[in-house]
């Protein structure tokens, strides 16, 4: 049975940055919850503070105020518990595919032989068997993103924070990787928080979508997405898909009717 207990509770988070022109408030009293094994997408206008939220959850930035609870206990951040695939997550060009995938395991001090075995299993599962010794520049964009995803997953984090992981890819590759991601989180029982600017992707993948306002970001609405599809492509032919898509566009003030 699917558990719906709360895993992460982000409560009343505010964040300001001090710049030359004074303080800029980026997050304004932001609150949301993430359940165990949830798949939540966060969408909002460009520059509204989505990456800042991830940086706070991951412990790279401190909030100005607010709290984070993990499984009921207040924590400063989820440092060490999250796998964070950053918006500009680049592979190290001087390391092979295997070397990139093993990076985190090496820093954690995992026995090298065991790390190689584990890395090979993941590479095989993600269709990258045989590319162990290739360098990132020899791979397609979609393959590189798969390597970055493995590098995040292999550390076995409780929660994956994925910041626009597919935004630089062509549509066909993106559709394929959405499927790879969905299968992976089901196989490894992960909770996912995905930042995306792609409403279509958010509806196809998520159980819930959090819509943020413009900066300073607040939670405008949270939409439950009630589509049980085999794959993100199949989700797009669900009769409810278009309704969710248009509701989210309306929340973001995107005009979907042609106007002349």
> Interface with Mg ion by CB under 5 A: which range of 21-29, 59-67, 79-87, 101-109?
79-87
Site residues for ligand ATP, 8-27, by CB under 6 A, read 17, 19, 26
Judged by CB under 6 A, how many residues of this single chain contact ligand ATP? 12
CA dist., res. 98 & res. 84, Å (int): 19
Residue 51 binds ligand ATP, judged by CB under 6 A: yes
Q: Residue 237 and residue 246: Cα distance in Å, rounded?
A: 15
Residues 188-217 binding ligand ATP (CB under 6 A) are 215
Asked if 41 is part of the footprint of Mg ion (rule: CB under 5 A), the reply reads no
Sheet order of strands, 191-195 included: 82-85, 159-163, 191-195, 39-43, 208-212, 219-224
50 binds ligand ATP (CB under 6 A): yes
The option from ligand ATP, Mg ion, none interacting with 77 (CB < 5 to 8 A, set by class) reads none
Asked if 51 is part of the footprint of Mg ion (rule: CB under 5 A), the reply reads yes
Question: Considering the rule CB under 6 A, would residue 46 count as an interface residue with ligand ATP?
Answer: yes
Residues contacting Mg ion: total by CB under 5 A: 3
Give the residue from 108, 37, 39 showing the smallest Cα distance to 71.
37
Q: Which of 12, 47, 183, 256 binds ligand ATP (CB under 6 A)?
A: 47
Residue number with CB closer to Mg ion (58 or 105): 58
**Nearer CB in complex with Mg ion: 87/125:** 87
Residue 97 neighbours by CB under 8 Å, 6+ apart: 123, 128, 131, 132, 133, 134, 135, 136, 139, 147
The interface region with ligand ATP, picked from 46-54, 67-75, 77-85, 224-232 by CB under 6 A, is 46-54
Binding footprint of Mg ion on the chain (CB under 5 A): 50-51, 87
Binding footprint of ligand ATP on the chain (CB under 6 A): 17, 19, 26, 46-52, 87, 215
């Amino acid at each position: 049975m699917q558990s719906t207990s709360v895993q992460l509770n982000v409560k009343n988070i505010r964040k300001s940055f001090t710049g030359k022109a004074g303080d800029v408030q980026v997050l304004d009293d932001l609150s949301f919850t993430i359940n165990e094994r949830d798949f939540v997408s966060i969408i909002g206008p460009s520059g509204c503070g989505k990456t800042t939220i991830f940086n706070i959850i991951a412990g790279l930035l401190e909030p100005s105020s607010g709290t984070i609870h993990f499984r009921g206990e207040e924590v400063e951040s989820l440092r060490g518990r999250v796998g964070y695939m950053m918006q500009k997550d680049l592979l190290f060009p001087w390391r092979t595919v295997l070397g990139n995938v093993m990076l985190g395991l090496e820093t954690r001090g995992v026995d090298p032989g065991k790390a190689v075995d584990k890395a090979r299993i993941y590479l095989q599962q993600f269709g990258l068997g045989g590319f162990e010794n290739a360098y990132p520049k020899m791979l397609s964009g979609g393959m590189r993103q798969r390597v970055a995803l493995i590098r995040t997953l292999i550390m076995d984090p409780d929660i994956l924070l994925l910041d626009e992981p597919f935004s630089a890819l062509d549509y066909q590759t993106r559709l394929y990787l959405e499927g790879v991601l969905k299968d992976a989180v089901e196989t490894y029982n992960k909770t996912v928080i995905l930042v995306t600017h792609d409403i279509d992707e958010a509806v196809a993948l998520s159980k819930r979508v959090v819509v943020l306002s413009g900066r300073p970001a607040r939670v405008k609405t949270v939409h439950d997405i009630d589509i049980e599809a085999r794959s993100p492509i199949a989700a797009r032919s669900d009769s409810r898909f278009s309704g969710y898509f248009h509701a989210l566009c309306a929340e973001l003030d995107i005009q979907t009717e042609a106007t002349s």
